[in-house]
Amino acid sequence: MISYKKEIQDLKKNGFTNFSSFFDKNEIDEIANEVNKIIIDETDSFSKRIKETDSFSKKIKEQKFDQINSMERPYHHSSYVRTNTFSSSILGKSKKVDNFFKKLFSDPKFNFLCEKFIGKNFRIYTLAIRQLDNSSKPIGLHQDNWAQLTFSIPLNDILEKDGTTTIISGSHLFDYQILDEFFNVPAFLYNFFTFHLKGKIGDLSLFLNKTFHGNYIQKKIKKKSTCIHIALVADGGYSYLPFIPIQKTNYGDDLKNAVGDIIYEKMFSKEDLIISENRYFTYLKNENLKAKVKIFCKSATGREIRALTEVMTKDKKHIIDEIFINKKFSFLDLPQYIYFKMLIYLKKIYKKIKNLF
């Protein structure tokens, strides 16, 4: 089996990497055609989106969400209007796509990478389609769950100037964090720091969600950038929000049979999850029944990064374990640190002045 030594080192150092020709191009072309059908179906018209006519949305709408435990969330969604970015769950909508994921999560190469990065008992946070075009609105620089990584499968060649995810290289190890405090800061003020995540059909890209990341929108060219995002949360006592179980696919099959036991268990099962302070956390070997929760970082807006306190003392089994609370200080990063802190400070002043009027 390929060791992927260079790619793994790139990920540790930069917070992102790319596996060239991971998939057969013809296979991805076929999946791209299926995804295009899903996108057309779900964005057929504004009225269709509002009425939520697809079978999944009907089922979700029928549920009484005020009675649903806040520790769970619905999987199926389609979001377009707010950001002009097509974003939708992907499972259960195409038999060919479901078979592709069933095969992927049984693939020794893919599972080798998952075990190396996030352990055997990882959880699936997102399986979704994202399509950017020149009408999309940028998502500002931010950080997600520090114990999360995202695989990206480009469904068309995504080049340097195309709409794509942007990353600040090495920021997963910075001695300071931003969480959500950079939202609404104009992208032109920091774009010169960012790297554009590129990829060709057949590639598999990857970035750590602890890195400072956002997206870049190309306004001058009417080209769509479409990819599949697979976001996974590491095992080892990290915060996780499981999905509400779903029984049937859009095409009428049993969902568990359609996607396979591996995917279904990693999305909907709670058997190996840990409950502490009314929150779920991922599998932790020999966990303490009285496990405590620690807040590792908190933004001015109240957003928090939580995990069990055991993550500080347990053996480091995978890359997320190594970098979750690992930080480094470099004088080379000092100018960038001062600049970012200045932007956050100016944003606060602007907000206060705006509130006066």
- Give the pLDDT confidence of 21-53 residue by residue, as tens digits: 999 999 999 999 999 999 988 876 444 444 444
Q: What are the helix (H) ranges across 190-259?
A: 255-259
User: How is residue 146 annotated by DSSP?
Assistant: T
Question: What is the DSSP secondary-structure string of 103-169?
Answer: HHTT-HHHHHHHHHHH-TT-EEEEEEEEEE-TTPPPPPSB---TTEEEEEEESS-B-TTSSEEEE-T
The mean predicted confidence, pLDDT, of the chain is: 87
pLDDT score at 331? 80
- Cβ atoms within 10 Å of 70's Cβ, excluding its own: 9
pLDDT score at 82? 54
**Record: fold of 5-356:** Jelly Rolls (2.60.120)
113, 270 in Cβ contact below 8 A? no
60, 248 in Cβ contact below 8 A? no
Q: Which residues contact 294 (CB under 8 A, 6 or more apart)?
A: 306, 307, 308, 309, 311, 312
Backbone torsions φ then ψ of 197, nearest 5 degrees = -75, 110
Taking every pair of Cα atoms in the chain, the longest distance, rounded to a whole number of angstroms, is 63
283, 273 in Cβ contact below 8 A? yes
Residue 197 tokens read as 């995540």
Residue 186 tokens read as 């104009």
Q: Structural domain boundaries of the chain?
A: 5-356
Segment 281-292, tens digit of pLDDT: 999 887 655 788
Residue 321 tokens read as 């374990």
Angle 262-264-270 from CA coordinates, rounded to 5°:
100
For β-strands 204-208 and 16-19, DSSP reports them as antiparallel
Backbone torsions φ then ψ of 118, nearest 5 degrees = -135, 5
- Cβ atoms within 10 Å of 296's Cβ, excluding its own: 17
Q: CA separation (Å) from 18 to 153, 202, 233?
A: 10, 11, 19
pLDDT score at 46? 43
Sign of the dihedral through C-alpha 15, 305, 233, 125: negative
pLDDT score at 289? 59
- Residue 183, exposed/middle/buried by CB under 10 A (0-12, 13-18, 19+)? middle
CA atoms of 319 and 169, how far apart (whole Å): 17
Predicted TM-score of the model (pTM): 0.89
pLDDT score at 341? 86
Segment 155-206, tens digit of pLDDT: 999 988 888 999 999 999 998 899 998 888 888 888 889 999 999 999 999 9
- List the helix and strand counts (H, then E) for the chain: 10, 14
pLDDT score at 140? 87
Which residues of the chain are under the pLDDT cut of 70?
1, 44-70, 77-83, 287-289
